[in-house]
Structures are given as C-alpha cells and as structure tokens.
Structure 1
C-alpha cells in the first residue's frame, strides 16, 4: 500500500513519518507553500483574545517576531493540534475547539471574551469567523498574515505515478488542496481511472471538489483531525491488503 500526501510542508513530512510508523509507505507532493505576508498588525493591547484556525498563523507570527506581545492573551484554537502548537510556543491559556470553524466560533461565543478577538489568518479563508460571531455581539478583527501559494505543476515522478495508477490512495486535508489537485492531476488520469482512485479526506467540504471532477471513491475521516486521518489510512490499508 503506497499513499500520496498532498498537504504543505512541514506537515507533509510529519504525516509521512506517522504513516511509516504504521507500516504504510507514502510519498509527499505538497501542493501549496506558505508565504508570510508583510502585514500591519494592530496593537495587541486592544484585544481580549486570539483565535487560531491554523498552525500556519502561528508560524507566520513567529516569522514576524510578533508572538511575545500576544502570549498573555487567551487563545482559542480550531483543534488539538493547533492548540498543542500554541502551548509549545509559550501560550498558557489555550482552549481547543473540535476541529472546525463552527466549533471554534462556538468555543469563543461560550467564553464571551470582554473585548475584540484578534484573528491572524490566511489570505484564502474557507470560512468567515467574524461573520459567524457578529450575531453573538462579538467583534473579530481578521488580519491576513500568510498566504498558501499553489503549485503550478506536479513533480515529474509524482505525475508519472499518478498517471500509471501506482498510488493506492491520496490524502487530502483541505478543500483548496483538493481543488489544486484537480487542476494539476485531472488531465493525467483517465476518466475511468478517476472513479477507481481512492481519496482519504478530512471532511465532506474537502471532498466536494474531488467529487465534482468525478473522483468518486472518497472516504471521510470520522473527525477533522490528523489522528482521525491516520486511523482512516490504517483501516483502509488493512482492508486493501487483508492484514
């Protein structure tokens, strides 16, 4: 069983290593690269909390040497992995939501911070946290601090292996990654083969572009988390190999 991991670095390599520990061979083809933006950050004293929907926001703030003024703020992270990263970087008061933007909005609403929430985010947002919290009387100031730049092509060897059907499954973690995969790989894979290639996806939202391009063999993780994706990969590999 050989799988293809499409998420950006450094997460792609981390997933590859965790798959190897499960005795699953995987290649990596990061379809996006993070670039820190030259953002003008508002004064931190004006905020009561920080919202994080991605570890990439923390990495961008670290690049900008802008973490120290925020470390005394309560942090609301989209999931356990982002929460863990925040704690590793010195944030003490960290609440983890359940892996989705809706659950992040709910966690913030229940906590009722007594002032605006600072939301360092990506340039391409999959949801609008400010819009979700406005009806609850909470102000969110969204500042793009990073951009995920799409690859313009696939590595020659990866493209060849996709065209010849050498991957047993493809792992997709974000809707935008799935969209980029469809743009770069659809023409490589014959229509009949698209229906055969399995995709392991973080959620229905991630899977939607694949289905629209007739990649119809899609399996969804039980929970939008890395652990759930690895559990899905292991179950799928065992089913395919009979082990």
Structure 2
C-alpha cells in the first residue's frame, strides 16, 4: 500500500486522510504548519462595504462570531466549493462560488465592484496578487487578518518514529510555507532513507516554486488548485 504524507494542518489533514484511505492509500499525518487566531475588531468593518471575498475557509473559521454576524448579510464571493460551504455553515445567506482559482475570483470581483469597497477576511500569510489585482481595478479592499500560519517543527526522532523507519512514497503539499519546510526535511541526513525515493505533489505552481528541487527531488503540480486534482496525480494504489 502506497504511503502518502499529508503536510496540511488540521482540520483539513484528517479530512484528507479519510479520503486517501477510502481510495486505497495509507495516509501519514505530519502537519508542517498550524493556524492561530488573531484578534479582530468588528468595528473596523467599513459601513460602505458591498461584498465579502474569501479565498480561505480558515479565514472564516478563525473570525470572531461578532465579525461573522456583521458580515453575514453581505453577498459572499468564495474562491471555491469548499470555501463556499464553510461560508454557508458560518451563516452567510448569499454565497457565490468560484472555480477554485483566486486570480479568476479577483478578475470577477474587479468587474463587478469597480470603485466599491469589499471586505477580505484572510490570513496574515497570503499571496499578494489577489489584492493587487483588485486594487489595480479600483476596488477598495479592506483586508481583515483573522489568522496566522505558523511553522510546526519536528525532530528527526519524531519523524522516524512516525514513519516506523519506513520510506514515504508520496508527499502532498498544500502551501508554500509547508513546501519550503518539506524541502528542508527531505535533505536532513537522518531522514535520507525516508525520503530518498519519495515523489512530491503540489497544489499549485506557486507552492511548487517554494520547494527548491536543487537536491534532485522532482515535483508535480495539480492541473487545478483543488484537492481532487492533486490526488489525481498519485499513482494508482497497489
């Protein structure tokens, strides 16, 4: 059975593990990042905001209840189905789902709301192009940082014990920060045997770029930035 290392944080890690098990893989959970809630003042929400944009379900999960209550009446434009589902569960009544591409969502919002103000619940660590595209089109983006992404460090001994000394067949990378951390782990002398023949799979080209392949580690990129496309890259279970 192929062993697949899942590097994303909870709660997504366990969800991915179940999906892998259901399709015949052996998941191993090793989150390389974790999310931490940041303080947010609901009073900072602009009165003239006409919509909410969300590119990460974590941004909603970490938002205070009073912030969600203040935003829930506005139309919510979610990057994809998973984020849209999270928005509905949090109480948003009007949710528009994109195809999973943040840049495409930015282009859509730029067309719909030129000169208007939107609220963008987001993480402290994020890719700037989304906001840059909107601001270039004259959309007033009020970024509301609800969470931070922090590294999780693991000792060689912890990883070797988790792997039971056996090699990993594949690694799934969901963020640039995790990809950079994984590249360091893969080159640790004590872990050479674990990752010597491992294949690496990234959710997007930006994430793959954070994985320095100078050590000869090949990496493949999902055709679309969603988990289904990422898992489709895995070799068939044996």
Shorter-chain TM band = 0.7 to 0.9
CA distance in 1, matches of 2:215, 2:194: 10
What secondary structure sits across from 2:236 in the alignment? helix
Alignment of 1:78-93 (within 5 A): 78-93=79-94
Residue 52 of structure 2 is aligned to residue 53 of structure 1: no
CA distance in 2, matches of 1:230, 1:212: 21
Runs of 5+ consecutive residues of structure 1 not aligned to the other structure: none
CA distance in 2, matches of 1:39, 1:213: 41
CA distance in 2, matches of 1:105, 1:231: 27
Query: Root-mean-square deviation (CA), in Å?
Result: 2.4
CA distance in 2, matches of 1:150, 1:217: 23
Shift of 1:14: 0.3
Q: 1:152 to 1:131 in 2, by over 3 A?
A: same
Residue deviations 1:149-194, cap 9 Å, x none?
Answer: 111225734345669551110011111110122234421444x986
**Are the counterparts in 1 of residues 45 and 119 from structure 2 also a CA contact under 8 Å?**
no
How many residue pairs match? The answer is 235
Residue 75 of structure 2 is aligned to residue 74 of structure 1: yes
CA distance in 2, matches of 1:183, 1:123: 23
In structure 2, the residue matched to 1:237 is 236
Runs of 5+ consecutive residues of structure 2 not aligned to the other structure: none
CA distance in 2, matches of 1:224, 1:215: 24
Q: 1:126 to 1:162 in 2, by over 3 A?
A: farther
Shift of 1:114: 6.7
Residue deviations 1:94-117, cap 9 Å, x none?
Answer: 122232321120121232277301
Residue 23 of structure 2 is aligned to residue 14 of structure 1: no
How does the TM-score come out when normalised to structure 2?
A: 0.88
CA distance in 1, matches of 2:230, 2:75: 28
**Are the counterparts in 2 of residues 159 and 185 from structure 1 also a CA contact under 8 Å?**
no
CA distance in 2, matches of 1:29, 1:203: 20
Q: 1:88 to 1:165 in 2, by over 3 A?
A: same
CA distance in 1, matches of 2:163, 2:210: 18
CA distance in 2, matches of 1:159, 1:126: 33
CA distance in 1, matches of 2:156, 2:206: 26
Alignment of 1:33-182 (within 5 A): 33-41=34-42, 42-43=44-45, 45-61=47-63, 63-112=64-113, 115-154=116-155, 156-159=157-160, 166-182=167-183
Q: 1:163 to 1:55 in 2, by over 3 A?
A: same
